[in-house]
């Protein structure tokens, strides 16, 4: 599994008890304020991978996420099947989302999480050629299926490891599970950081 650079990235490179909570967002905005509150109470930072279309329709939530010092990264402009797109179309999707994110935050996105978790060599190459790192995950909550909150908690706590990338979505069960997950991670000594921090080289670590 690639740790950083080109190729798809499944985990970080700190070599320490650190994890990145990533939240893929194309819907579920009504649950984000509660997620932000839970993150704040646990002194945790997260990374929100947003579609450009969602960001355009939710400018206040974008400001709120950014103001809370979380990372906002690229999930494409539309939540489409990137496996079926040509390289130029992939890069246009990313650029459109990048422009929306920059307009909202003043920061250029650097990381891309594919809708549906799709991945193939040409798709990864197109994303890397656009200057982006291709982010997957090593711990999947599968929360989009909306299982019981305790199922989500157990999935994370049984599978978490140093440098884990933990994938979530804004759902009602996730909101209910998140405080217990964050408390458990804190109790086990994990630092919850942004994807930028998790993938930084050792000399750049905070």
Cβ atoms of 8 and 136 closer than 8 Å: yes
- Distance between CA atoms of residues 103 and 139, nearest Å: 31
Mean per-residue pLDDT, 125-140: 98
Q: Is residue 93 part of a domain?
A: yes
pLDDT of residue 174 exceeding 70: yes
Q: Is residue 191 part of a domain?
A: yes
> Where does the pLDDT of residue 25 fall: very low under 50, low under 70, confident under 90, or very high at 90 and above?
very high
82-88 contact pairs (CB < 8 A, 24+): 82/114, 82/115, 82/116, 82/118, 82/123, 83/118, 83/119, 83/120, 83/123, 85/123, 87/122, 87/125, 87/126, 87/129
Cβ atoms of 1 and 11 closer than 8 Å: yes
Half-sphere exposure of 188 (CA within 13 A, CB side): 18
Can you give the pLDDT at residue 3?
39
Q: Is residue 21 part of a domain?
A: yes
pLDDT of residue 167 exceeding 70: yes
Residue 166 has φ and ψ, to the nearest 5°, of: -105, 115
Can you give the pLDDT at residue 201?
59
CATH code where residue 151 lies: 3.20.20.370
Half-sphere exposure of 20 (CA within 13 A, CB side): 30
Q: Is residue 2 part of a domain?
A: no
Number of domains in the chain: 1
Cβ atoms of 193 and 18 closer than 8 Å: yes
Q: Is residue 1 part of a domain?
A: no
Q: Is residue 3 part of a domain?
A: no
DSSP notation for 50-79: E-HHHHHH-HHHHHHHHHTT-EEEE--SS-
> Where does the pLDDT of residue 2 fall: very low under 50, low under 70, confident under 90, or very high at 90 and above?
very low
Count of positions (residues) in the chain: 206
Domain with 98, as residue range(s), is 8-204
**Strand 164-168 versus strand 139-140 pairing type:** parallel
Mean per-residue pLDDT, 94-113: 98
Can you give the pLDDT at residue 176?
98
């Amino acid at each position: 599994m690639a740790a950083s650079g080109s190729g798809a990235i499944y985990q970080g490179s700190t070599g320490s008890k650190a994890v990145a909570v990533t939240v893929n967002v194309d819907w579920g905005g009504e649950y984000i304020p509660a997620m932000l509150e839970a993150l704040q109470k646990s002194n945790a930072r997260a990374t929100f991978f947003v579609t450009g279309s969602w960001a355009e329709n939710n400018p206040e939530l974008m400001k709120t996420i950014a103001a809370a010092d979380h990372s906002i990264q690229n999930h494409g402009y539309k939540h489409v099947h990137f496996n079926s797109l040509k390289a130029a179309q992939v890069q246009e999707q990313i650029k459109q989302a990048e422009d929306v994110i920059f307009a909202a935050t003043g920061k250029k996105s650097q990381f891309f999480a594919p809708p549906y978790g799709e991945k193939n060599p040409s798709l990864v190459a197109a994303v890397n050629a656009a200057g982006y790192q291709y982010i997957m995950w090593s711990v999947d909550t599968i929360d989009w299926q909306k299982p019981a909150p305790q199922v989500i908690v157990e999935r994370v706590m049984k599978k978490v490891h140093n440098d884990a990338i933990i994938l979530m979505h804004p759902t009602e069960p996730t909101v209910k599970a998140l405080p217990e997950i964050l408390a458990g991670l804190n109790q086990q000594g994990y630092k919850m950081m942004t994807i930028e921090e998790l993938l930084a080289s050792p000399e750049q670590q905070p």
